[in-house]
Structure 1
Amino acid sequence: MATMQDVARRANVAVSTVSYALSGARPVARATAERIRRVMEELDYQPNAMAQGLARRRAHTLAMSFPAFDTAMGETVFEIVRGAQAAAAELSYHLAVWPVSREGGGEELALIVRQGKADGVLLVEVAVEDPRVEALERAKVPFVLVGRTADPERHAYVDIDFEQAVADAVHALHDLGHKRIAFVGRPESQVASGYGPALRARAGYVQAMQSLRLRPATVSCDASPVAGRLLAAPLLQQEQRPTAVVVLNDMAVMGLVAGLDEMGLSVPEDISVVGAVSSRTLGAMTNPPLSTSHAPGEQMGAYAARALVRLLDDEIKPADCHRLVQCTPVPGRSIGPVPPTFPASSQRRGSHQ
């Protein structure tokens, strides 16, 4: 059986440094601590009872981690942070936000817990194949996901039902007579990286359209008002020009509404726009006010923090903690019946051409 001396010798550090890396009694440089962690795994080193006792000592801190996704922080994410912080405080815990890289981030978080700086981890903005999750599982670190992986059943999680939120928007538009309904999603880079909301929302849209025997039309868009405004013209140059658009991209939808106006089109008289899984604040920032749906971010954050503390106290198992939340419709003035004709912009406001 490997000893602490074996770990120190292989990692080329002092035995005391290995002890500090385990207990967090003194700071250890990140590169050194990572080297020690790798050696411990290679040697299958099991800390002695004293080190284990130090490692188990509660810091009364929950680490909340965001990966380096190409995504702008939306209001819902800030609501999740507020909810988690409030719930943690009620339970006499601190909440610390630890930004980490997507690759290697799990090992960084495991080291933070191993050093006694935090007791468990809340993972936010989860990919369907998330290396942070795999690393925390290997390190046996307690964690709760705000999001889901492709196989979420063995993990504790709370997540928005993106598929249902987008499907509800599609069906609401279809009930108003719309059949050419386009979907504007997150940046293609997020889809390629496996970002859960980007994939789930697109899948929900496609499934809803197919269930109505309608042709799906998906478009990716960068998360910025400028990108949304520039998207308006090519969106309407599609072979099947949409009479309605479902948007899962808070930053882009503001620009899209402005771009449609620049083309001489009125919302919702000429084209309807729905912001799926958005915020009440955003809905009030467009003209006309955007019809959207809102996820209970603060409730999600509070649920995740409370669940993590219960995991730490061995009151529940990860499989006992599965929650999928629904979005609440937020009425606006951006959707209406399908227009009898789809006018050319020059027929509406020639001065904008």
Structure 2
Amino acid sequence: MADVIQAYLEQQKYLIIDGALGTELERRGCSLDDPLWSARLLTDNPEMIAGVHSDYLHAGADCLITASYQATFQGLARHGYTKEQSQRLIRFSVTLAKNMIDAFWADPANRVNRLKPLVAASVGPYGAFLANGSEYTGDYGITEDELVEFHRERLKTLVLAEPDLLACETLPCFAEARALVRLMEDLDTIPAWISFSARDGRHINSKESIRECAQWLDRKPCVAALGINCTDPVHVASLVKEIRSVTDKPIVVYPNKGGVYDGLTKEWTPKLGQPSFVQMAAQWAKQGARLIGGCCQTTPDDIRGLALALKL
């Protein structure tokens, strides 16, 4: 399988990932008070998602993550979608991002000193479907085999939509990463990055060691990059150091803006007095991260700052 990440990083030092989708949509006035979260807008208001995608491209993002994080067959069925409707919606999340990149790339002015941006199809965790905050604990109460089956149909559907890679993201526990790797090996899919959500500088949210997770993932050819997302940025430099100690694979980091998140109310309380997002990103790069972006609460302005700082 072609490793699009490695090919990209052979031509430029860093790959800039986009920033938040859900919190950015809310910032623009969208109500996401729904178990489908941003995926609901794929049906109700795809133009808003397209607008956010476009703004991130113009800010300097080299990779768009699709709006499929919360789009699962099980979650959509719960809302009355048929299997065929769910397939169309999940495929559309990829098509929408690809179309925005094609439109952006059609303007020669946007190609100056740039490679054509990539599409990473988002595969959110089982806890996102539960929508009960368990995506931040990994306390699911189901087996690894059940996790494989939960993710199977969405993974197949996303791959058929032909994104450049998969973004298996915000994974709170090692079992879910193993399940997704098993599935990718079984389906012989496109490459993926695996990114965990973490509780501190050494442990993912399930309290398992990030170093042990990275050591296992290092041996898996389907994993093109690995790292951390939707995590307090103050922990990221330490986490990158832990990962780098056991793997030479590219490290991906796109933490949130910083703050405390309540998984039940789905609200953020900001933390004051920490360095700027771009200042912290310089430290992540220094520790060895090569794919860098933002998660919850980050904006196109943050991504513009990252692109300017890291592409000098």
TM-score range, shorter chain: 0.3 to 0.5
Higher relative contact order (CA 8 A, sep 6+): 2
TM-score, reference length from structure 1: 0.30
